[in-house]
Amino acid sequence: MTLEQQRQLEDAYIMHTFGRKPVELVSGCGMRVTDDAGREYLDFIGGIGVISLGHCHPALVEALSNQASRLMHVSNYYYIEGRGELAKKLSDLLNEAAPEAQRKQWQTFFANSGAEANECAIKLARLYARRKAESRGEARFPRLIVTLERSFHGRTLATLAATAQPVKQEAFQPLPDGFVAVAPNDVDALKRLFADRGDEICAMLVETVQGECGVYPCSEEFLQTARDLCTEHEALLMLDEVQCGMYRCGTYPYAFQHFGIMPDVVTMAKGIGGGMPMGACSAAAEVAAVFEPGIHGSTFGGSNLAITAANTVIDTVAAEGIAENVESVGAYLRERLAELPSVVETRGLGLMVAVDLLDECDAHAITIAALDAGLLLNSTGPHTLRFLPPLVCTREDVDELVERLATLL
């Protein structure tokens, strides 16, 4: 079916929640995708940070094909192959780079998306605070969750309430209450908030690197202060690693491991499935223990296919040395982008990168024009481009990107 036929059908029968770009993608391999007319594009958005191993990596295609031929889904009423192994792998990965004394046994709830993973974390924090208060014979318990301004945690009502971006919230008021936002990397403001309302706070939910607003890493001082204040006030430090986790920032599995802290809860999605819908909320065992059968669930979470995908992604990243590639190519990407005359700022970690352009540069218009140059790009603001390529991106891919982008700019 042609692009125009597809466009007509979608205009008539699909809710208009996305402003689609005028291209119909039909196949892909590695860093490249092809449209219905046979035109090839270099992909520097990677399904919004989802395509960890590149498009249609042979190991993932084979694993999913084999699993689909045997069993796709049986519900969470039963044990299945690979789920326990995956949960242990995540526990080990979450402890990577931590001193022995800080290592924990982590337990995981499997979901289908980052929003679902964050919903799980929110419910877990409130229930943990309630159970702790009940064990002390206290009638009241803290329920306030601290988030950061310009954060993004999802589009369900609760995760949208946690998303401190009024422009995204206004249309859906009233939203669930129980959230308060503080400016990112403002240590003094965070200290004041805990001093004023510490007895109300049950948790802090933070993106280690804010992605949707344009790739802004938290500072080490801010994250360490958050860790200390949460410990002092018996609140949970919950890190949203949906976009910045699973080796997206290089070297380590999770972005927080670059900053020398240990959270209580970590949420993840996107890259963990390599293209399969997959999400997870991992918590220290003593926190996870408040969940009992029937108190939370998901029909599709942790399906046979999703578990297979995540196991394959993690195993392939290790087998092919992809983390080291992310670190070196990510540094090269930031270096090359900074050379472009229209770029005024470059920031990020690993292959999670953004650039701010001169005011006269329209980032959205550039993403449209980039299609004619054979590039898939993403803008997160009027003058900001974000880059989330597959983790197998090479220096040659970066050189090709910069050459084409230089012409566009």
Question: Tens of pLDDT along 226-246?
Answer: 999 999 999 999 999 999 999
What is the band of 402 on the pLDDT scale with cuts at 50, 70, 90? very high
Boundary (domain end) residue, out of 272, 302, 319: 319
Contacts of 404 (CB under 8 A, 6+ apart): 42, 370, 373, 374, 375
What is the band of 127 on the pLDDT scale with cuts at 50, 70, 90? very high
pLDDT exceeds cutoff 90 at 112: yes
pLDDT exceeds cutoff 90 at 326: yes
| pLDDT computed for residue 66 by the predictor | 98
Mean pLDDT of 74-100: 97
| pLDDT computed for residue 352 by the predictor | 98
Are 173 and 267 within one domain?
Answer: yes
The closest of 349, 226, 253 to 310, measured between CA atoms, is 253
Outline where 78-113 has alpha helix (H). Answer: 83-95
Boundary (domain end) residue, out of 319, 342, 367: 319
Are 312 and 376 within one domain?
Answer: no
Whether 62 is covered by a domain: the verdict is no
Q: State which H helix or E strand residue 265 sits in.
A: strand 265-268
pLDDT exceeds cutoff 90 at 45: yes
Mean pLDDT of 70-83: 97
Boundary (domain end) residue, out of 292, 319, 346: 319
Instruction: Please say whether the beta carbons of 341 and 409 come within 8 A.
Output: yes
Are 130 and 39 within one domain?
Answer: no
Mean pLDDT of 236-264: 98
CA distance 394 to 330: 9
Q: Which residue has the tokens 């877990």?
A: 124
The torsion angle over the Cα atoms of residues 211, 212, 215 and 216, rounded to 10 degrees, is -90
Would you put residue 270 in left (φ > 0), alpha (ψ -120 to 50) or beta?
Answer: left
The Cβ of residue 125 has, within 10 Å, a number of other Cβ atoms equal to: 28
Whether 63 is covered by a domain: the verdict is no
Contacts of 111 (CB under 8 A, 6+ apart): 117, 119, 120, 269, 279, 280, 281, 298, 301, 302
Are 343 and 261 within one domain?
Answer: no
Instruction: Please say whether the beta carbons of 212 and 380 come within 8 A.
Output: yes
Whether 114 is covered by a domain: the verdict is yes
Whether 398 is covered by a domain: the verdict is yes
Are 34 and 148 within one domain?
Answer: no
User: What percent of the chain shows pLDDT beyond 90?
Assistant: 99
pLDDT exceeds cutoff 90 at 190: yes
Are 254 and 333 within one domain?
Answer: no
- What tens digit of pLDDT does each residue of 4-39 get? 999 999 999 999 999 999 999 999 999 999 999 999
| pLDDT computed for residue 167 by the predictor | 94
Whether 16 is covered by a domain: the verdict is yes
Number of residues that this document lists for the chain: 409
Q: Which residue has the tokens 């891919």?
A: 397
Are 97 and 11 within one domain?
Answer: no
Are 259 and 133 within one domain?
Answer: yes
Total number of domains in the chain = 2
Are 263 and 357 within one domain?
Answer: no
CATH number of the domain to which 351 belongs: 3.90.1150.10
Mean pLDDT of 96-106: 94
Whether 342 is covered by a domain: the verdict is yes
pLDDT exceeds cutoff 90 at 95: yes
For the sheet containing 384-387, what is the strand order?
343-349, 352-357, 384-387, 378-381
pLDDT exceeds cutoff 90 at 1: no
Are 7 and 83 within one domain?
Answer: no
Residue 43 belongs to domain spanning: 3-57+321-408
Q: For the whole prediction, is pTM greater than 0.85?
A: yes
Contacts of 313 (CB under 8 A, 6+ apart): 52, 53, 60, 246, 271, 272, 273, 274
CATH number of the domain to which 175 belongs: 3.40.640.10
